[in-house]
């Protein structure tokens, strides 16, 4: 494993989230708090360069971050973009030692780990017309991130 110091840092924090679930409430507050604390944070609508392909820009931002906060919400698994971000985040955790902090927002951590309940339904809907190998990678990534010590937003005060 390479150390994170071997990899150029662009951001302190990358935030992975499902926009329709969390952008205007939870994530906007997290972003404001980080920004007010002078933490250089990547948030897709703030930092993506117009006219550039999304995939490589997101990967560059993930790789260039010291920490990734993964906000797991009810429809997170319904987004191929979110799940592919998660794959890359976990790759950076393994390769560069990136710190990954899961936040369980309106979803039970065990539902993420086991892909059950509404969270599991969102994944199943998203998985239609996807190959089994990709689905297997997504399932493993969700299980892996759910076993990392993080925060359950329902218990935060």
Helix/strand/coil (H, E, C) string of the chain? CCCHHHCCCCEEEEEECCHHHHHHHHHHHHHHHHHHCCCCEECHHHHCCCCCCHHHHHHHHHHCEEEEEEEECCCHHHCHHHHHHHHHHHHHHHHHCCEEEEEECCCCHHHHHHCCHHHHHHHHHHHCCCCHHHHHHHHHHHHHHHCCCCEEHHHCC
pTM of the predicted structure, to 2 decimals:
0.88
Q: β-strand 65-72 against 151-152: which pairing, if any?
A: unpaired
Residue 122 confidence (pLDDT) above 60? yes
Lowest-confidence pick of 26-30, 80-84, 139-143, 152-156: 152-156
Checking if the pLDDT of 141 tops 90, the result is yes
| pLDDT-based confidence at residue 4 (cuts at 50, 70, 90) | very low
Q: What architecture does CATH give domain 4-155?
A: 3-Layer(aba) Sandwich (3.40)
Catalytic residues: 85
Q: What is the pLDDT of residues 29-52, one digit of tens each?
A: 888 899 999 999 988 755 555 565
């Amino acid at each position: 494993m390479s150390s994170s110091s071997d990899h150029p840092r662009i951001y302190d924090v990358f935030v992975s989230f499902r926009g329709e679930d969390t952008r205007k409430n939870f994530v906007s507050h997290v972003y404001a708090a980080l920004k007010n604390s002078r933490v250089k944070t990547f948030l897709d609508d703030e930092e993506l360069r117009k006219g550039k392909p999304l995939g490589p820009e997101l990967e560059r931002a993930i790789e260039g971050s010291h920490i990734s906060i993964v906000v797991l919400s009810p429809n997170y698994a319904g987004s191929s973009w979110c799940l592919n971000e998660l794959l890359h985040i976990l790759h950076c955790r393994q390769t560069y030692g990136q710190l990954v902090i899961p936040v369980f927002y309106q979803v039970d951590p065990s539902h993420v780990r086991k892909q059950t309940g509404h969270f599991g339904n969102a994944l199943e809907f998203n998985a239609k017309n996807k190959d089994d190998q990709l689905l297997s990678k997504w399932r493993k990534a969700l299980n892996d991130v759910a076993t990392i010590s993080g925060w359950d937003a329902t218990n935060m005060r």
